[in-house]
A = this chain, B = another copy of it.
Amino acid sequence: MESSRRKPTIKHIAEAAGVHPSTVSRALNGLPESRIPQETVDRIHKAAAELRYEPNPWAQSLRTKRAMMIGMAIPRFTDYVLAQMFEAAQIRAMKFGYHTLTAGAEVGGVDNVAIKGLIDRRIDGLILATAKIHDQYLPEIERRGVPFVLLNRKSADYPGVTGDDEVGGYLATRHLIDQGHTRIGHISGPTDVSTALNRACGYRRAMAEANLPVHSELIQQGTFDADSAGRAAANLLNLPVRPTAIFAVNDISALAAMSVARQCGLTIPEDLAVVGYNDSEVSSLLPIPLTSVRVSLQEMGSAAVDLLLALMNGETVESVVKAPQLIPRQSSVLSRS
């Protein structure tokens, strides 16, 4: 009995309500200055509801040049930190009627490709959670006129949202110093990622402040993952004079370090104190709960959306820096016995 299988358009509504399509558009979009009597508006709404009308977003976007869509470039979703931020961002964006289109930056080989793909889909704005420090493509994106903000990556030139990694690194290291440690190793992250770099800076500042020397072998580089961190930890533990504490650039590195330490017959925290970063879900569930630095990833994700929307709105915006907080747990605190 249904009159037609096709999706109803504004034209069908117009017919049903006995008005012109343009009137339907105005009525549905409800611009205040287009003075249409309430009675007509109601009639149109009724017709729209009956026909189960839904606007065609392609036509809308084509006409208005806005897609109500923001892109998020994220290297991996399996990374707890990134997933958390993405999820919060998506929820926040949807509050304002925006959908999120994602591109794993790894997808397509080069970051460029995936991001280009995103932009080609005509998004209204972009959140980059993937930008390495020396990014040749940031200017390129800027050139294309797409508003964007950085997330979890610091840049002097572009606005973004970050945690205060320097302070976080400082807090972690300072905590270990306060526990009486003097030889403190650091498992760092990739050198082209600002978060990792800043955490290392904080580490150095805390050490310097306490007049503790930082020999180069005390900093072993990893790449945020268990394998590399395990090797870095092994290097630290095999030093002639073994460090008694390790500050790892993230929790997974800390986990790997603890795993290696156990294999060396060391007990935690007596022989080795460990501090991680990001306070991921498992940290508190471990047999020896992990001390970690927490910064609200949800808040960062939300803030990135807010920042982007402001930017898209033509406002001048400033970068947001979220303060971190140390969550001391057993992995770095000797139980007073």
Query: A102 an interface residue at 8 Å Cβ cutoff?
Result: yes
Query: A33 an interface residue at 8 Å Cβ cutoff?
Result: no
Contacts of A258 in B (CB 8 A): 287
How far in angstroms is the closest Cβ of chain B from A334?
Answer: 18
Q: Which of A45-90 contact B (CB under 8 A)?
A: 54-59, 61-62, 67, 69, 76-78, 80, 83-84, 86-87, 90
Name the CB-closest residue of B to A60. B58
Q: How far is the CA of A59 from the CA of B121 in the complex (A)?
A: 11
Contacts of A295 in B (CB 8 A): none
B287–A259 touching, CB < 8 Å = yes
Assuming A80-B78, A94-B108, A262-B287, is B99 touching A101 (CB within 8 A)?
Answer: yes
Interface size on A, residues (CB 8 A): 49
Assuming A59-B62, A62-B58, A122-B57, is B226 touching A281 (CB within 8 A)?
Answer: yes
B62–A122 touching, CB < 8 Å = no
Assuming A102-B100, A122-B57, A285-B255, is B87 touching A76 (CB within 8 A)?
Answer: yes
Query: A117 an interface residue at 8 Å Cβ cutoff?
Result: yes
Query: A282 an interface residue at 8 Å Cβ cutoff?
Result: yes
A86–B77 touching, CB < 8 Å = yes
Q: How far is the CA of A114 from the CA of B99 in the complex (A)?
A: 10
Query: A120 an interface residue at 8 Å Cβ cutoff?
Result: yes
Name the CB-closest residue of B to A256. B285
Q: How far is the CA of A103 from the CA of B86 in the complex (A)?
A: 11
Contacts of A122 in B (CB 8 A): 56-58
Query: A104 an interface residue at 8 Å Cβ cutoff?
Result: yes
Q: Which of A120-159 contact B (CB under 8 A)?
A: 120-122
Q: How far is the CA of A84 from the CA of B76 in the complex (A)?
A: 9
A107–B90 touching, CB < 8 Å = yes
Contacts of A67 in B (CB 8 A): 58
Contacts of A57 in B (CB 8 A): 120-122
B288–A287 touching, CB < 8 Å = yes
Query: A252 an interface residue at 8 Å Cβ cutoff?
Result: yes
B77–A94 touching, CB < 8 Å = no
Name the CB-closest residue of B to A67. B58
Assuming A78-B87, A104-B90, A108-B94, is B120 touching A54 (CB within 8 A)?
Answer: yes
Query: A333 an interface residue at 8 Å Cβ cutoff?
Result: no
Chain A 285-323, CB-CB to B under 8 Å as 1, else 0, gives 111100000000000000000000000000000000000
6 A-B contacts (beta carbon < 8 Å): A56-B122, A83-B83, A94-B108, A94-B114, A94-B117, A101-B101
Give residues in A with beta carbon < 8 Å to B: 54-59, 61-62, 67, 69, 76-78, 80, 83-84, 86-87, 90-91, 94, 99-104, 106-108, 114, 117-118, 120-122, 226, 252, 255-256, 258-259, 262, 281-282, 285-288
Which 8 A-B pairs rank lowest in CB-CB distance, beginning with the nearest?
A58-B62, A58-B61, A77-B83, A77-B87, A255-B285, A78-B83, A58-B58, A94-B107
Known: A57-B122, A62-B62. 17 other contacts (CB 8 A): A58-B62, A58-B67, A77-B77, A77-B83, A78-B87, A87-B104, A91-B107, A94-B107, A94-B108, A94-B114, A99-B117, A100-B101, A226-B285, A252-B282, A252-B285, A256-B285, A259-B286
